[in-house]
Amino acid sequence: MNVISGKYKRRQLKTLPSMKTRPTTARVKEDMFNMLNNYFIYENKTSLDLFAGSGALSIEGLSRGIKKAYINDLNPEAIEVIKENLKNIPKEDYVLTQKDYLDVLHDLANRNEKVDLIYLDPPFPHIEYYYNFFETINELNILNLWGIIVVEAPEPLDLTQVKDLTLLREKHVKSKVDKYIYILRLEEKA
């Protein structure tokens, strides 16, 4: 897999050969960023990837102008792959952690830090966990106003269960494993 655009364009990224990480396919990643380009300006923004896998989404964001990327994965093997992929990227551009995603969210909230872009592609087998994530993000208030959440889900989301986020775009990507991509934005708090 390669970085698609920006200052790290064509950079080769390693992936972890495991069912635990399910790397975003090149086609899905390209669709995701093409959709995101219509709604998001990367420069001087902060991103968060809680289930980074290979770090490909965060590195793509950094390549396009993200100022600071919070990159996390609980899997120690994934962390090693991410470290390899981050070689020659300035350390001040990212924070790499190996924690449970809820710990990362609470750490950010405790430091009163907010982000502008969240990539959500968890390895959760059940869609209910996505709704728990949205609820936690809302409670902890870590997404900046006009911030975006890019969701890659294995099945359609029931958007009536997603509070305070506006659907900007959705797409069903058909492949060996169907994916549903959603671009959601925090436009105002209720």
What would the two tokens of residue 88 be? Answer: 């020659």
- pLDDT tens, position by position, 68-108: 999 999 999 999 999 999 999 999 999 999 999 999 999 99
Contacts of 149 (CB under 8 A, 6+ apart): 117, 118, 120, 134, 137, 143, 165, 182, 183, 184, 185, 186
Which pTM does this prediction carry?
A: 0.91
Going from the N-terminus, what domains does the chain have, and what CATH number goes with each?
28-152+161-186 (3.40.50.150)
Distance CA 83, CA 78 (A): 9
Angle between helices 101-110 and 128-140 (to 10 degrees): 10
The predicted-structure confidence for 162-183, as pLDDT tens digits, reads as follows 989 999 999 998 877 788 999 9
Asked if 56 and 82 touch (Cβ cutoff 8 Å), the reply is no
